[in-house]
Structure 1
Amino acid sequence: MIELISLYEWIWIVYTEIAIFVTIIIFSWLLDRWLRGKPLSAIVLPWLFTALGCLLIGLGVRFQDGGIATSGLALAFYWSKRLRAIKELKRLEEILLIYVDSLGQAWMDEVIHVLQKHIEEYLKREK
């Protein structure tokens, strides 16, 4: 029973992180649509949200919260697309792509590790 409760808590945490990710991305997209064509949206907001995305990546990694880290990654990636003409941001985009790959791999390794642990505990209990 304890294994089921810890598996339930782990599933709840994963879905909460996905909800954080989706919420931040939807609000960012709605703000982008609302400010499209206004003077503020051309320069200030892309820089601001790219910086906010990088800050969220750092906070997510620091506090080991995948939802915040991936939502920061998505924010930085989405808003840096708006600033594509600047050479430094092309390099930032390459770094973000590498980070997406490594974050996804780390998350999948964690999923596999947790599932293997639960399967091993279940098999030990059955013997």
Structure 2
Amino acid sequence: MSDTEQSEMQAMLTRWQTLKKQAEGGELLLDSQIRERLVTHAEQMRTKLDAMVNKAAELEHLSGFGSLTSAGDLRQKFALKANNGTDSAVKRLQQSIDIVTLMKETYELAIGKITESDQSVADKLAALNTGGA
């Protein structure tokens, strides 16, 4: 992964961490219907990314390069690019999974806070209607 791509992934992760904190603090609120669609979409993305991780991990087991030493070196290089290398496809996909997971958690928190707020207001109104404080 280039430095620019790595920087973009880190910026995206940081942005979603910030949004999650805002949702935890009640600053980010979502309508329940929107939240449900976003959570569903995030789950679908996660499923697709998990399948891609499995396929990329399978690419670690390559064959057909021949018996030359250079062929073995080439096979190893491709295997590391698929999995276990510093810039492997599996690691890049895992970063995307981390971001999608953070997105889903943020969506869930955002609706949770609005639901809590609605319940709090409803409880106060009910108390007023029954002659409470």
- Please classify the TM superposition score into its range, dividing by the shorter chain length: 0.3 to 0.5
- What TM-score results when the alignment is normalised by the length of structure 1? 0.47
Task: Return the index of the structure with the highest Cα Rg.
Answer: 2
Structure number with higher relative contact order (C-alpha < 8 Å, ≥ 6 residues apart): 2
Higher helix share: 1
Q: What TM-score, normalized to structure 2?
A: 0.46
